[in-house]
């Protein structure tokens, strides 16, 4: 008990702290009096040297495991071939290198943390030490001093008297941020008509996305699904992904008598129809094509379009039908676009006609 009191006074605890038996009794008439801290209780490691030594060994053991795991990490980095696959219970067949790197680094980091926590829990002092709160406001003299200094400074600079300086300074300060505003121009040129146009144009041949070859009508069988991009686009092109995001096309073939929409039939070639692959809802690539129902389904929000009826929306959140590309067969026998898309592909936007 005497050791406990000694500790409390050494830690400068509040005067009204209850040093006694741990009973938090209400003192006097004030029911909200600070009950103070409960009395400090010793841990086994505080009083038993053997227990303390055991705790020390536990902490050291955790740090030692961490060291071994780090060495294991370095060894596995050099020793395990990149392509080796091992079967690990619950994980399945995984890369031996990834697994051992992750495991050893995880153990190394975890053991450092666990050792530190165990150290703090068993050996570091666990006496609670309150820190008094003080009012944030400065005292009266300091405030008066600061105000006087400010007034003296203002007077000294003649800020109030020399109006020209004041006005021009305000002007300069107001203009400086404009430099930053101008830099926002670097966010890029305005989109202009980019959203309205694609690379499809009259006479552009239709290139098979899989083979890179122009498509002939005989390549497209009833029930097949073919993805295509316009002639002139190359997968090696730096902007290929950006361009295909608008130009992506899907071609299917139906029996002409199955096509219900008059325009669709006019824009098709012997039952081959070409539609934009970009969903008109939020622009997902849409190609879950059911060849018996001619429904095409968007994987993102389940918008469903009926390709036999002008790609009309029959389910889901999409706002308008998929744009169709008018196609014909050129003199060379290959399929080609008769004109560009007549409406913007992809999702709606503010200025969309």
Partner 1 sequence: MAVVVVLLFALAATGGLYAAFAPAKKAQADTSAQSLTVQEGKKLFAVGCASCHGMNGEGSSDGPSLIGVGAAAVDFQVGTGRMPLMQPGPQAPRKKVAYEPAQVKALSAFVASLGAGPAIPSASDYDPAKGDVAAGGELFRTNCAQCHNFVGEGGALTKGKTAPSLKGVSPKHIYEAMETGPQNMPSFGDGTMSDKNRRDVIAYVYSKQGHEASSPGGMTLGGLGPVTEGLFGWIFGLGALIVVAIWIAARTSKVRKS
Residues that bind partner 1 (CB under 8 A): 1, 41-44, 46-48, 85, 90-95, 98-99, 102, 117, 121-122, 126, 208-211, 215-216, 218-221, 223-227, 252, 285-293, 295, 297, 299, 304, 315
Compute the least distance from the CB of residue 39 to partner 1, in Å: 8
Considering beta carbons, is residue 215 or 345 the nearer one to partner 1? 215
Question: Do the beta carbons of residue 70 and residue 100 sit within 8 Å?
Answer: no
Compute the least distance from the CB of residue 213 to partner 1, in Å: 9
Residues 317, 191: Cα–Cα separation, whole Å: 26
Considering beta carbons, is residue 196 or 282 the nearer one to partner 1? 282
CB atoms within 10 A of CB 329: 15
Compute the least distance from the CB of residue 125 to partner 1, in Å: 12
Compute the least distance from the CB of residue 330 to partner 1, in Å: 17
Give CA separation, 68 vs 88, 104, 105, in Å.
22, 9, 10
Compute the least distance from the CB of residue 79 to partner 1, in Å: 17
Considering beta carbons, is residue 201 or 225 the nearer one to partner 1? 225
Compute the least distance from the CB of residue 340 to partner 1, in Å: 23
Considering beta carbons, is residue 98 or 239 the nearer one to partner 1? 98
Compute the least distance from the CB of residue 323 to partner 1, in Å: 19
Considering beta carbons, is residue 199 or 339 the nearer one to partner 1? 199
| CA neighbor of 275 nearest in space, from 257, 252, 294, 242 | 252
Considering beta carbons, is residue 138 or 314 the nearer one to partner 1? 314
Name residues whose C-beta falls within 8 Å of residue 35's C-beta, 6 or more positions apart in sequence. Answer: 18, 24
Give CA separation, 103 vs 66, 84, 99, 106, 107, in Å.
11, 16, 6, 5, 6
Considering beta carbons, is residue 198 or 226 the nearer one to partner 1? 226
| CA neighbor of 346 nearest in space, from 317, 322, 327 | 322
Residue 281 burial (CB < 10 Å; 0-12/13-18/19+)? buried
Question: Do the beta carbons of residue 269 and residue 302 sit within 8 Å?
Answer: no
Residues 255, 258: Cα–Cα separation, whole Å: 5
């Amino acid at each position: 008990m005497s050791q406990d009191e000694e500790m409390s006074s050494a830690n400068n605890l509040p005067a009204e702290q209850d040093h006694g038996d741990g009973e938090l009794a209400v003192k006097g008439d004030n029911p909200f009096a600070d009950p103070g801290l409960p009395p400090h209780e010793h841990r086994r490691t505080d009083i038993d040297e053997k227990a303390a030594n055991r705790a020390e060994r536990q902490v050291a053991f955790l740090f030692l495991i961490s060291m071994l795991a780090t060495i294991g990490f370095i060894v596995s980095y050099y020793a395990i071939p990149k392509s080796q696959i091992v079967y690990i219970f619950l994980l399945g067949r995984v890369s031996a290198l990834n697994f051992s790197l992750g495991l050893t680094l995880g153990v190394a980091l975890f053991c450092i943390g666990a050792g530190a926590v165990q150290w703090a829990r068993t050996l570091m002092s666990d006496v609670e030490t309150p820190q008094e709160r003080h009012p944030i406001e400065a005292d009266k003299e300091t405030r008066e001093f600061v105000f006087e200094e400010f007034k003296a400074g203002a007077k000294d600079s003649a800020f109030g008297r020399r109006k020209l300086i004041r006005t021009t300074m305000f002007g300069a300060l107001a203009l400086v941020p404009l430099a930053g505003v101008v830099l926002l121009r670097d966010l890029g040129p305005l989109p202009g008509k980019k959203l309205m146009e694609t690379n499809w144009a009259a006479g552009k041949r239709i290139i098979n996305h899989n083979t890179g070859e122009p498509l002939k009508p005989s390549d497209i069988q009833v029930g097949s699904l073919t993805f295509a991009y316009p002639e002139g686009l190359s997968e090696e092109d730096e902007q290929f992904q950006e361009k295909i995001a608008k130009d992506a096309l899907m071609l299917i073939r139906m029996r002409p008598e199955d096509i219900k929409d008059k325009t669709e039939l006019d824009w098709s070639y012997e039952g081959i129809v070409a539609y934009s692959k970009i969903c008109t809802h939020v622009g997902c690539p849409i190609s879950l094509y059911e060849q018996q129902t001619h429904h095409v389904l968007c994987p993102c929000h389940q918008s469903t379009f009926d390709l036999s009826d002008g790609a009309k929306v029959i389910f889901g959140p999409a706002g308008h039908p998929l744009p169709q590309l008018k196609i014909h067969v050129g003199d060379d026998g290959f399929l080609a676009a008769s004109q560009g898309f007549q409406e913007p592909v992809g999702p709606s936007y503010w200025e969309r006609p």
